[in-house]
Amino acid sequence: MAEAHGIRIEGLRKRYGSGDTAVDALKEVDMAVAPGEVVGLIGPSGSGKSTLLKCLGAVIEPTGGRMTLGDQVIYDGAWKIRDLRAMRRDKIGFIFQAPYLIPFLDVTDNIALLPMLAGQPNAEARKRALELLEALDVAHRAKAMPSQLSGGEQQRVSIARALVNRPPVVLADEPTAPLDSERALAVIRILNRMAEQYQTAIIVVTHDEKIIPTFRRIYHIRDGRTEEEAGEGRPF
C-alpha cells in the first residue's frame, strides 16, 4: 500500500443548520499531513478546529470538499465509505483533552478493546496492548484500573489506545491541556516517536503555548479557512 499522503483535505466545507441560523464553520479548508508527520492545528475559539476533527473522524458529515486518508478517498461530496464505524476503528486513532478511558476495564483491556472490536483474539490483542504500554513506559501499570492512574499516566494510556490498531491517522484534541510543561513535552515526544515508528499522520489541535514551538509545520485556522505556516521545530 503506497501511502503517499497520510491525510489530504481539499476545499472542505461544513455548514451547521440552514436558512437564517446557518453557521459556516468550515469555509475552505486545505490540509495535507504526510505519514510520520506531526502537525499542529491552532486557531481562536470558534474557528472550526473541533468541527474539522469531527469531519475527519467521520462523526459529522461535511457539506462539501474532499478528504483522503492514506490511499482511500473517504469523502468527496458524499461519504465514499459504507461502514464509517469500521473505518474509524481501523484507520483513525483519537486522543482527547481528557483521557476518557473506560472506567470498568483495566489499563490493558482499555487498549486491547480496539483490536478485539476488530475481531482479534483476546490474547493477541493484549499482547499488542502490552507492547505499546512498554513503549510508553506504563507497562508497570498494566493491571491497574484507570481511576488508579495519575493524569499523565492516563493520557499515555489513551495515546496507546489511539495507536494500538496502527491507524494511518491520529487526531488529538488538546492532548496536553491538563499537563505541566514537562509532561506536555513528553506527550509530544511520544507522538513524534510513534509517528515515525508507525508512519502515522498526526494532527494535534492545541492552544498550548508549551508545545506550539515544537511543530515543524502548523496550520492556522481562522474563520473557517486554513493557512499553512512553518513552525519553529524546536527540539523537545
Partner 1 sequence: MISLAGRDILHSWGKFVFTGMGLGLLIGVTLTMAGVYRGMVDDARVLLDNSGADLWVVQQGTLGPYAESSSINDDTYRAVLAMPGVAAAANVTYLTMQIRQGNRDVRAMVVGIAPGGAGTPGRPARLVAGRQITRSHYEAVADVATGFRLGDSIRIRRNLYTVVGLTRRMVSSSGDPMVFVPLRDAQEAQFLKDNDAIVEQRRRTGANPAFARPGVPDLLDAVIASQSTNPYVNAVLVRIRAGALPEEVAEPIRRWKRLQVYTRAQMEEILIGKLIATSSKQIGMFLVILAIVSAAIIAFIIYTLTLGKIREIAVLKLIGTRNRTIAGMIMQQAVGLGLIGFAVGKIAATFWAPVFPKYVLLEPADSVRGFVIVVVICILASSVAIRAALKVDPAEAIGG
Interface residues toward Mg ion, by CB under 5 A: 50
Quick one: 107 or 205, whose CB is closer to ligand ATP?
205
Q: Which stretch binds partner 1 (CB under 8 A): 51-59, 65-73, 185-193, 214-222?
A: 51-59
Report, in Å, the least distance between residue 46 CB and partner 1: 9
Complex with ligand ATP: residue 48 or 167, whichever CB lies closer: 48
Number of Cβ within a 10 Å radius of residue 164: 23
Among 16, 85, 151, 234, binds partner 1 (CB under 8 A): 85
Report the alpha-carbon distance of residue 141 to residue 121 in Å, rounded.
22
Could you tell me if 132 and 188 are in contact, meaning their C-beta atoms sit under 8 angstroms apart? no
Cα distance between residue 100 and residue 97, in whole Å: 9
User: Within positions 8 to 67, which residues make up the interface with ligand ATP, using CB under 6 A?
Assistant: 16-17, 23, 25, 43, 45-51
102 binds, among partner 1, ligand ATP, Mg ion, none (CB under 5 to 8 A by kind): partner 1
CB contact burial 51-72 (16+ within 10 A = b; e otherwise) = bbbbbbbbeeebbebbbbbbee
Q: 171 pairs with which residues across the strands?
A: 94, 203
- Which DSSP string corresponds to 108-162? HHHHHHHHHHTT--HHHHHHHHHHHHHHTT-GGGTTS-GGGS-HHHHHHHHHHHH
Stretches 16-24, 71-79, 88-96, 222-230: which one binds partner 1 (CB under 8 A)? 88-96
Contact 74, 100 (CB under 8 A): no
30 vs 90, which CB is nearer to partner 1? 90
Smallest distance, ligand ATP to C-beta of residue 37, A: 22
For 127, the grid coordinates are 499482547
Contact 67, 12 (CB under 8 A): yes
The distance of closest approach from Cβ of residue 175 to ligand ATP in the complex, given in angstroms and rounded to an integer, is 14
User: Please, which residue, 23 or 73, has the CB nearer to ligand ATP?
Assistant: 23
Q: With binding defined as CB under 8 A, does residue 86 bind partner 1?
A: yes
Q: Are 130 and 164 in contact (CB under 8 A)?
A: no
Identify which of residues 50 and 63 has a Cβ nearer to ligand ATP in the complex. 50
Site residues (vs partner 1, CB under 8 A): 50, 53-54, 57, 59-60, 85-86, 88-90, 94, 96-97, 100, 102-105, 109, 113-114, 116-118, 122, 145, 161, 173
